[in-house]
Amino acid sequence: MKLVCLDLEGVLVPEIWIAFSEATGIPELRRTTRDEPDYDKLMKFRIDLLKKNNLKLADIQRVIQGMEPLPGAVDFTRDLRQRTQLVILSDTYDQFAGPLMAKLSHPTLFCNTLEVAADGTVTGYRLRQQNGKREAVRAFKSLNMQVFAAGDSFNDLDMIREAGCGCLFRAPEAIRKDYAHIPCVDTFDELLAEIDKFLN
């Protein structure tokens, strides 16, 4: 059996933290895993910024409610799911993902969970597991599945390597340059073509 694993933000939907940065006018919130390979460092930085600016989970969720999938993503996921199974492996949070998953017709999603105080203050986060994207691909392979993986950021590299078949998608120039041995595509048509090669 063959399976496709995709990252979420930057691949199928816009970066949530960038959208929130634009909504709040706080440029520091634009930092993502494209910029910072150390996820724990990045999340502690974000949570500290939220606290300093008295921003709560509900403030982020309001911005997410108004977000739409990237142009072409809905058709792409529909076409892909007609070909094979799709699992989204993301470092987003279950408190964020619901509205966007609905707009993508609810593909299977593995993600993380925010720790939130009674007043809505984000106090921390819980990973589903360490290096969850890679470990999910490893687990699928242990079930005798062949896996194709694609993503756009530093935190996607391990799952792509573990899958053994996959590519980068719209990755920034620094990642393309440092990981030139991993193919990179920039359109959904090109990504679907790479997946078709894997399926056939």
Catalytic residue among 9, 156, 158, 162: 9
The pair of structure tokens assigned to 59 is: 């403030």
Known catalytic residue at 7: yes
Q: How many CB atoms lie within 10 A of CB 175?
A: 20
Buried b or exposed e, range 127-150, using 16+ CB within 10 angstroms: ebeeebbbbbbeebeeeeeebbbb
Give the three-class secondary structure for 184: strand
The pair of structure tokens assigned to 93 is: 């949070």
The pair of structure tokens assigned to 43 is: 């999340």
Quick check: 75 and 106 in contact, CB under 8 A?
Answer: no
Quick check: 11 and 17 in contact, CB under 8 A?
Answer: no
Known catalytic residue at 79: no
CA atoms in the 13 A half-sphere facing the CB of 130:
1
Catalytic residue among 7, 15, 152, 194: 7
CA atoms in the 13 A half-sphere facing the CB of 83:
20
Residues with a known catalytic role: 7, 9
